[in-house]
Amino acid sequence: MNRLEKALQNVKLGHEKAFVPYIMAGDGGLDVLESRIRFLEECGATAIEIGIPFSDPVADGPVIQQAGIRALKAGTTVKKIIETIESFRSKVNIPLIFMTYMNPILAYGKEAFIADCKRIGIDGLILPDLPIEEEETIEPLAKIAGIEIIRLVTLNSSDERIKTISNKGNGFLYAVTVNGITGARQGFHVELHKHLQRVKDLSPLPVFAGFGISTPEHIKEMTQFCDGVIVGSKIVDLFEQKDEARIKELIQTAKSVSV
């Protein structure tokens, strides 16, 4: 059982809902990465999703795209991210999950990437452009290293595909809440509640909703039908605005939802 599995177990035992914030490594400089991670841990985040900046992020909306551009302009690389996390990993206990695309991994070398992730204590990977049909590219290496692949299901996923995907691994299932890219939204499709309930009924893994969640009201709404939420664009935006109080409010909202 790695850090991620333990954290998910603790959430369940505590009758809480999980909150996973996303941050872009290198946005604001790699020198702020440690302080942001420590802040999110202190606020009670369940795990932290760390984006690796990439020039062609097909799943990312404008806010995260711009964060990636800022990070790349600042000279952020996969190697520098790994070195930075390695320098402070022993000071934080929270599970860390890399969110990246396959191109940076293949450019780095998949064996070297997984070995370095294991060495610095990365607990999971979210790979939006890796379908389950092509997982043999990296999944066996990650499994040996004890690193969970976090898989995504969409509004268009069939029951059979949800069953297949959710029966892999021991992390959580990422339920995408919109047909489109990341980014804060005013509201969600009326059928979303049914979709989340369907995924929850089919999945043996905890189900976390992500994409577009940006307010305490969204969190309260989504967590009626799933085990937790992933908040990306809003967290990136609030760090850019230096509004840590609102970040803390979002995390505490999830933790205060009774199960």
Judged by DSSP in three states, 114 sits in helix
AA letter at 123: D
| Residue entry with tokens 């595909």 | 161
Give the CA count within 13 Å in the CB-facing half-sphere of 242: 2
Which residues, 6 or more positions from 2, have their beta carbon under 8 angstroms from its beta carbon? 95, 123, 146, 147, 148
Pick the closest to residue 229 from 204, 257, 201 (CA basis): 257
Judged by DSSP in three states, 157 sits in coil
Q: Please give the positions annotated as active site.
A: 49, 60
AA letter at 180: G
Angle at 196 between CA 179 and CA 258, to 5 degrees: 130
- Looking at residue 91, the DSSP 8-state letter turns out to be G
Q: What is the phi/psi pair of residue 6, to 5°? A: -65, -40
